[in-house]
Amino acid sequence: MVGFIIRRIAWAIPTLAFVSFIAFFIIQLPPGDYVTAYAAQLKHSGEYLSPDQEELLRQQFGLDQPIFIQYLDWIGNILLHGDFGRSLEWNANVSDLIWDRLGLTLAISTLSMIFTWAIAIPIGVYSATRQYSFFDYVFTIFGFVGKGIPEFMLALVLMWLGFVYFNFDVGGLFSAEYATAPWSYDRVIDMLKHLWVPVVVLATGGAAGLIRVMRANMLDEMGKPYVETAYAQGLSERQVIWHYPVRVALNPFISTVGWALPALFSGDIIAAVVLNLPTTGPLLLKALQMQDMYLAGSFILILSVFTVVGTLLSDILLAWSDPRIRYG
């Protein structure tokens, strides 16, 4: 087991180095750079930058250097000083911009993932053990509808319901008076009041799909001979179901739990824009539009790190839960 983990970690390091370079490289791919986008924006509002001024800005931002040098500068600062560079657009340190939002993103992601699993696993098991029963059909319908409704749509409907019928101040993660206030007990309570909408929105779509996965896995597993063996030992139905087929049916969940990190980090962009959440999604979208390369690059780098680390985590978890992987 220890050897397995060390091997996996050793593989993760070159992957990360490669991914960071690709991330930086991709940001540079669109024609032009931040200065071009900036000049275009200024022109839009009636101002004008001369070619000399543009050149000066480029020198100032270090954009005239070859890509490889820019990359080395950037990654060197990250590794040595934890400095992700400055956002050209926001004229602020990337780390200041990101970490604040990152915490909130992680909070929402984790909550909605726990919520998703807490809904999906018991319902999937129930649906499979009572296949074709009334509630199985109810959950099936819920599953397809939940999967079919786009998240932003659900977000809009919930916001409307909350606003019209319950007079909630929905949208955003904080009420106006707490938006910029330092963390306090009241601020946390205020956040929890706003948090349920995004959590429900994100969990509905996720749970709908996972119920189907869990149900299908369980139906596969319950037909296997080892389940009959377990019954033949005198275990009750509940003991058999939860100790045997559920253990095996959970494998796909465990092997994808790592992906939940990056998926929730970027996948909730539309819902986050609609709900006006101060999470990372909308910020990333803006950075990409403006070719704010250090900000966007850092985002994509963090996203990739999450992907790699997440995959590593789920691999380790899977090996822990399924011996066939550990010794495979």
Residue 2 binds other proteins, judged by CB under 8 A = no
Q: Cβ closer to other proteins: 7 or 247?
A: 247
CA atoms in the 13 A half-sphere facing the CB of 302: 25
Residue choice 42, 69, 157, 324 for contact with other proteins (CB under 8 A): 324
CA angle 152, 153, 154 (to 5 degrees): 90
Residue 54 binds other proteins, judged by CB under 8 A = no
Residue type, 279: T
Taking the complex as a whole, how short is the minimal distance between the CB of residue 250 and other proteins, in angstroms?
10
Residue 321 binds other proteins, judged by CB under 8 A = yes
Residue 220 binds other proteins, judged by CB under 8 A = no
Alpha-carbon radius of gyration of the chain: 24
Residue 82 binds other proteins, judged by CB under 8 A = no
Dihedral sign from CA coordinates of 34, 37, 38, 39? positive
What is the C-alpha to C-alpha distance for residues 49 and 11, in angstroms, rounded to an integer? 48
What is the C-alpha to C-alpha distance for residues 317 and 286, in angstroms, rounded to an integer? 35
Helix (H/G/I), strand (E/B), else coil: 226 = helix
Crossing angle for the helix pair 293-321 and 2-28, to the nearest 10 degrees: 160
Task: Confirm if 106 and 262 have CB atoms less than 8 A apart.
Answer: no
Residue choice 19, 72, 235, 288 for contact with other proteins (CB under 8 A): 235
Give the position of tokens 């139906």: 219
Residue 247 binds other proteins, judged by CB under 8 A = yes
N-term to C-term CA, the chain: 11
Q: Cβ closer to other proteins: 45 or 233?
A: 233
Residue 306 binds other proteins, judged by CB under 8 A = no
Residue 253 binds other proteins, judged by CB under 8 A = no
Residue 232 binds other proteins, judged by CB under 8 A = yes
Tokens at 1, concatenated: 């087991």
Taking the complex as a whole, how short is the minimal distance between the CB of residue 169 and other proteins, in angstroms?
48
Q: Cβ closer to other proteins: 53 or 239?
A: 239
Residue 182 binds other proteins, judged by CB under 8 A = no
Q: Cβ closer to other proteins: 76 or 323?
A: 323
Contacts of 16 (CB under 8 A, 6+ apart): 304, 305, 308
Q: Cβ closer to other proteins: 98 or 319?
A: 319
Q: Cβ closer to other proteins: 82 or 225?
A: 225
Applying CB under 8 A, the site for other proteins has a residue count of 22
Q: Cβ closer to other proteins: 35 or 241?
A: 241
Interface contacts to other proteins, rule CB under 8 A: 224-226, 228-237, 243-244, 247-248, 321-324, 327
